Structure 1
């Protein structure tokens, strides 16, 4: 069985590292180990969404030239399948922008590792359980 994939977008490598470190490779014992998919461009994020490779998406709201808030809004308007989206922001007051953009949750910098891990774990727990190959319709 494959590990869940958490896409992390920011144009800055150090921000992606801080997000991944805060979430951790095992955000909760019941969700198991996760894999990270790092994206530094909007095109990479949109391709991953179209290819449905991400189980959870974490977008940097402060990324340049396109921030995560705009990308989240675009995904909600254009994508056929929308994974849970978390936005990282610098100010808790930006929660309304995250809501407008359709985000499922926000994380505020500096990231709290306990909150970051629990946020991702909660979203992973809500995902549908995949049906094992050959189990559906077997006679």
Structure 2
């Protein structure tokens, strides 16, 4: 097992990025590597980090401004070969269809529920790490 996994967190709101870090903890579930975060507050920072490589999962805030995570997710899925899985934070459960449009691999509502979030992130990390094995 790899010693660490890298999770990119995009939100223009520092509090949202903190909620993601706190909900994840050192690792989202037993048996997974510890998590290192790349925090991004702008779309360009996300694109630069993705260009650099090494990201295992992206967590994108669908409510971020001026560039929302849903449109950014669709862009990443269109432009990056073997794009890492994306967990989208959505404002309300009714927005799940937009998450589908964006091609997100999973979606959870915001504010972050720690148990729901950790479960979703763990599932995406497991799928990503099993593909690498």
Which deviates further from its counterpart, 83-92 or 12-21? Answer: 12-21
Is 1:19 the equivalent of 2:20?
yes
CA displacement at 1:16 relative to structure 2: 0.6
> How many pairs were matched up?
131
Q: Contact 2:59–2:89 at 8 Å: present in 1 too?
A: yes
Instruction: Tell me, in whole angstroms, the C-alpha distance in 2 between the residues paired with 1:38 and 1:95.
Output: 24
Instruction: Tell me, in whole angstroms, the C-alpha distance in 1 between the residues paired with 2:119 and 2:93.
Output: 18
Q: TM-score, normalised by structure 2?
A: 0.91
Which deviates further from its counterpart, 27-36 or 96-105? Answer: 27-36
Instruction: Tell me, in whole angstroms, the C-alpha distance in 1 between the residues paired with 2:108 and 2:25.
Output: 14
Query: Following TM superposition, where does structure 1 have runs of at least 4 consecutive aligned residues deviating by more than 3 angstroms?
Result: 128-131
Q: Contact 1:49–1:81 at 8 Å: present in 2 too?
A: no
Deviations 1:49-101 (A, max 9, x none): 22222100000000010000010011111112300001101111110101110
Q: Secondary structure at the match of 2:128?
A: coil
Instruction: Tell me, in whole angstroms, the C-alpha distance in 2 between the residues paired with 1:68 and 1:47.
Output: 15
Long gaps (5+) in structure 2: none
Instruction: Tell me, in whole angstroms, the C-alpha distance in 2 between the residues paired with 1:2 and 1:48.
Output: 20
Instruction: Tell me, in whole angstroms, the C-alpha distance in 1 between the residues paired with 2:108 and 2:24.
Output: 11
Instruction: Tell me, in whole angstroms, the C-alpha distance in 2 between the residues paired with 1:81 and 1:105.
Output: 16
Q: TM-score, normalised by structure 1?
A: 0.88
Long gaps (5+) in structure 1: 132-139
Aligned pairs (5 A) from 1:1-139? 1-129=2-130, 130=132
Q: Secondary structure at the match of 1:126?
A: helix
Q: Contact 1:52–1:81 at 8 Å: present in 2 too?
A: no
